[in-house]
Amino acid sequence: MQNLLHNLNPEQLAAVTLPAQSALILAGAGSGKTRVLTTRIAWLVQTGQISANGILAVTFTNKAAKEMLMRLSAMLPINTRGLWIGTFHGLCNRLLRAHHRDAGLPQTFQILDSADQLSFIKRLLKANNVDDEKYPPRTLMYFINGAKDSGLRASEVEAYDAIERKMVELYDLYDQQCQREGVVDFAELLLRSYELLSRNQPLREHYQARFKHILVDEFQDTNDLQYKWLKLLAGQHGAVFAVGDDDQSIYAFRGANVGNMSAFEREFRVQNLIKLEQNYRSHGHILDAANTLIANNSKRLGKNLRTDAGHGEPVRVYEATSDIQEAQWIVEEAKNLIREGSLRSEIAILYRSNAQSRVIEHSLFTSGIPYRVYGGQRYFERAEIKHAIAYLQLMDNPHNDSAFLRVVNFPARGIGARSLEQLQDAAKQYNLSLYAAVPYVAGKAGSSLSSFVKLIEGARFETQQLPLPEMVQIVLEVSSLIEHYQTEKEGADRIENLEQLVNAATLFVSEEGFGLDAPALAGPASQATPNVITIADGVEIIDADAALPAVMSPLSAFLSHASLEAGDNQAQAGQDALQLMTVHSAKGLEFDAVFISGLEEGLFPHENSAKEEGGAEEERRLMYVAITRARKRLYMSFSQTRMLHGQTRYNMRSRFFDELPEEAMKWLSPKTQPSWFASSKSAWDESPSTGANTIAQSFNKNAWRIGESVFHAKFGEGVIVNIEGSGANSRAHINFGRHGMKLLDLSIAKLDKIPG
């Protein structure tokens, strides 16, 4: 016990040992929040207040869940595999598998990832002759997910115009088709388990009685449905231990609602609110920068981080002339750090959007520095893996039309658009899945389709007694996927990836405790071992064990895993490499040195954020997250020009520079924005849009030039992005940063030059 609690500071100790009531822990960045969460669980178990299976702990990312399990197994001498610790989606998946009948789902229901969902919607629109220009698939997807994230079914969504009415109608059709095919999207996992618990009283009461302690990580990221889900599961007596940081709420765009924190305080009658403000991560100047910046936000619960570490190094700021030069500067600085003894893996380069990684990668590649990019395409998202998975999906649930369409003619087996049209007609006529409709198609199309069905059924028969890895191996062969890629020029990598899938299956089966020889298709083990049956009001409840083998077959579990954990992109794993990632994916991580790049108006803060309510504050929180990733060294950079979407953009430096404390910063370049025409000619070379007339004008000392910084009485500082017309008729497009882009008549507008 003593060693469990020693080394905790007074606030952490108070949080860990709170009584069994709901509590809100406001945990600032680097204040030891994961430590508090895991120690709390260990303390509850060790003091005998609850057994390990009476605890439910929820996180948002698989990474966070794994981290928690790992730390916990170091503190407690128990098997952590059976613990209810996981992501919202992972836990809901388990619950729905265990109670699939009550939830109205087939045992082998499959999970659509975002890409699957989008193509599913495209197919739905086509099948119902809906104009996809009027109803863009992406818009419909956001509409459906938004409704589900608020806990609303189609029948409950209010529509205010004809477009919305149609979207509601499509939402309804979408749900019906998902049901027919036995597939669920991410939001559905939550909504369906919420409905399961709210409609089934004995089940609800059973789990309420079981989970007396619910712990939630990153509470600020919960959406309305997740909040309702927690409230339902906690019931009247459950104690919810919520840990969060309103300043790190960066997922409003996908439905997260920071308001849940104050709602929680009110509705759960929180008596215990503890703030963790002692930061153990960053040096003083870095923390000052973070505190000063975030103070510009109005809606805050109030919290200020402090540190015992000294000021440390100032935050270094660099202004580059181009994105290429910015990347070169970053690489040079990183080299210096490495020369001074830094580990490459302790240096992170952060950016706002994935597209920005390209230039930096190029620069790193040329310098021969190993690096690792997070995000981007992940293992289970690769086309060849998706194909192999689709064969496996059809063997587990043949009614998954998406899987059917993906591989019915891949590798090519002469089943073209015409055959599929006939099949789709038949499926519609008899209200069957494509797979089931195959016998109703006559002629040549019918026979090639039947041989595809025979292929799937043959594979299923051949592998029904085999363990998962062997099943995967056989599927790779009988599907002819390997053979197909052997004939393709660039196929070698793909074949290697496919063979990795067998290893992934082996690893998965052993990690989740299925046993290496358990038949892949065998149902859940709990049906054979009825010792988990509970009787409540005469109703039999098979209690869901947290361990996967108890609730699903190895194959179903593996397919869930592929959707829920897209898998790291395993590029250069294990090597000491520089870390490249978006600010979003850096949340929860920390590094000795951090570079925040592309700090320009329109990029960071992102221009799209201006349209969204509270968007500006969310961008500022994002910046706060970025700053607080750094332990010892922090670098910020921006560039005067940047290639984006194939054209050169001229951006102003980010407004965030005006919100940082002067004394913590060190500008490596003059702070006033110089006219870069004087210092760099490359801006001209890269900008074909500059007409001949403007080039001619540029030799006139008094004329305005593209790229020049100007000052306007009303709009403030701006940059000339383009000039049209000539002489007295010339007008300029000027980017005034937060005031937006303006088209001004140069002979009328009062503009001052800002000297370089």
Residue of the chain from 150, 179, 272, 353 that contacts DNA (CB under 7 A)? 353
Catalytic residue among 17, 21, 34, 208: 34
* Binding range to DNA, per CB under 7 A, among 43-51, 85-93, 168-176, 202-210: 85-93
Catalytic residue among 185, 218, 319, 396: 218
Catalytic residue among 33, 148, 621, 631: 33
Closer CB to DNA, 188 or 288, in the complex:
188
Which stretches does DSSP call E strand in 344-403? 347-351, 371-373
Residue of the chain from 413, 733, 738, 739 that contacts DNA (CB under 7 A)? 413
Mark 18-57 with x for binding to DNA (rule: CB under 7 A) and - for no binding: ----------------------------------------
Catalytic site includes residue 248: yes
State whether the Cα torsion 494-495-497-501 is positive or negative: positive
Closer CB to DNA, 337 or 408, in the complex:
408
Residue of the chain from 177, 260, 363, 419 that contacts DNA (CB under 7 A)? 419
Helix%, strand%, coil% for the chain, nearest 5: 50, 15, 35
**CB of residue 101 to DNA, shortest distance in Å:** 25
The token pair at 82 is 């059976």
Closer CB to DNA, 253 or 430, in the complex:
253
The token pair at 638 is 């921006």
**CB of residue 458 to DNA, shortest distance in Å:** 21
Say whether 317 sits in a helix, a strand or coil: strand
Catalytic site includes residue 496: no
Of 249, 262, 272, the residue nearest 620 (C-alpha): 249
What DSSP string describes 329-347?
A: HHHHHHHHHHHTT--GGGE
Closer CB to DNA, 23 or 167, in the complex:
167
Residue of the chain from 104, 414, 458, 727 that contacts DNA (CB under 7 A)? 414
CB atoms within 10 A of CB 511: 11
Q: How many residues bind DNA (CB under 7 A)?
A: 47
- Return d(Cα 713, Cα 711) in angstroms, integer: 7
Residue of the chain from 101, 134, 138, 428 that contacts DNA (CB under 7 A)? 138
**CB of residue 551 to DNA, shortest distance in Å:** 17
* Binding range to DNA, per CB under 7 A, among 200-208, 272-280, 409-417, 508-516: 409-417
Say whether 575 sits in a helix, a strand or coil: coil
Burial class (CB in 10 A: 0-12, 13-18, 19+), 275: middle
- Restricted to residues 550-609, the positions that interact with DNA (CB under 7 A) are 564, 566, 582, 584-585, 606-609
- Binding-site residues for ATP: 27-34
State whether the Cα torsion 460-463-466-472 is positive or negative: negative
* Binding range to DNA, per CB under 7 A, among 81-89, 210-218, 723-731, 744-752: 81-89
Residue of the chain from 199, 306, 418, 753 that contacts DNA (CB under 7 A)? 418
The token pair at 384 is 């060849």
Residue that is written with structure tokens 């009485």 in the block:
713
**How does DSSP classify residue 9?**
-
Which stretches does DSSP call E strand in 382-465? none
Closer CB to DNA, 560 or 690, in the complex:
560
Residue of the chain from 160, 310, 339, 417 that contacts DNA (CB under 7 A)? 417
Closer CB to DNA, 355 or 532, in the complex:
355
Closer CB to DNA, 300 or 584, in the complex:
584
Of 394, 444, 439, 440, the residue nearest 418 (C-alpha): 444
- Binding status of residue 488 toward DNA by CB under 7 A: no
Residue that is written with structure tokens 């000539």 in the block:
726
**CB of residue 420 to DNA, shortest distance in Å:** 7
- Return d(Cα 465, Cα 471) in angstroms, integer: 9
Mark 249-268 with x for binding to DNA (rule: CB under 7 A) and - for no binding: -x--xx--------------
- Binding status of residue 443 toward DNA by CB under 7 A: no
Catalytic residue among 217, 246, 384, 619: 217
Q: Which residues contact 32 (CB under 8 A, 6 or more apart)?
A: 9, 12, 276, 278, 280
* Binding range to DNA, per CB under 7 A, among 9-17, 405-413, 654-662, 690-698: 405-413
Closer CB to DNA, 254 or 712, in the complex:
254
Catalytic residue among 94, 97, 629, 655: 629
Say if strands 239-244 and 213-216 run parallel, antiparallel, or are unpaired. Answer: parallel
**CB of residue 645 to DNA, shortest distance in Å:** 4
Residue of the chain from 77, 574, 646, 688 that contacts DNA (CB under 7 A)? 646
Residue 679 sits at φ, ψ, to 5 deg, of -90, -25
Catalytic site includes residue 38: no
Catalytic residue among 222, 248, 690, 694: 248
**CB of residue 114 to DNA, shortest distance in Å:** 4
Say whether 640 sits in a helix, a strand or coil: strand
Question: What residues are paired with 467 via a beta bridge?
Answer: 519
- Binding status of residue 60 toward DNA by CB under 7 A: yes
- Binding status of residue 484 toward DNA by CB under 7 A: no
Closer CB to DNA, 148 or 212, in the complex:
148
The token pair at 392 is 């496996």
Residue of the chain from 339, 645, 714, 750 that contacts DNA (CB under 7 A)? 645
CB atoms within 10 A of CB 626: 30
Catalytic site includes residue 477: no
CB burial of 310-342 (b: ≥16 within 10 Å; e: otherwise) equals: eebbbbbbbbbbbbbbbbbbbbebbeebbeeeb
Residue of the chain from 62, 424, 641, 694 that contacts DNA (CB under 7 A)? 62
- Return d(Cα 655, Cα 664) in angstroms, integer: 17
Closer CB to DNA, 286 or 627, in the complex:
627
- Binding status of residue 453 toward DNA by CB under 7 A: no
- Restricted to residues 98-117, the positions that interact with DNA (CB under 7 A) are 113-114
**How does DSSP classify residue 579?**
E
What DSSP string describes 225-262?
A: HHHHHHHHHHTTTPEEEEEE-GGG---GGGTB-THHHH
State whether the Cα torsion 737-738-744-750 is positive or negative: negative
- Return d(Cα 468, Cα 476) in angstroms, integer: 12
- Return d(Cα 342, Cα 447) in angstroms, integer: 64
First to last CA, the chain: 64
Of 631, 626, 581, the residue nearest 604 (C-alpha): 626
- Binding status of residue 415 toward DNA by CB under 7 A: yes
* Binding range to DNA, per CB under 7 A, among 47-55, 67-75, 639-647, 661-669: 639-647
Residue of the chain from 148, 352, 620, 621 that contacts DNA (CB under 7 A)? 352
Please list the active-site residues. 33-34, 217-218, 248, 629
Binding site for DNA (CB under 7 A): 60-62, 87-90, 113-114, 119, 122, 138, 186, 250, 253-254, 352-355, 358, 375, 409, 412-419, 445, 564, 566, 582, 584-585, 606-609, 612, 615, 643-646
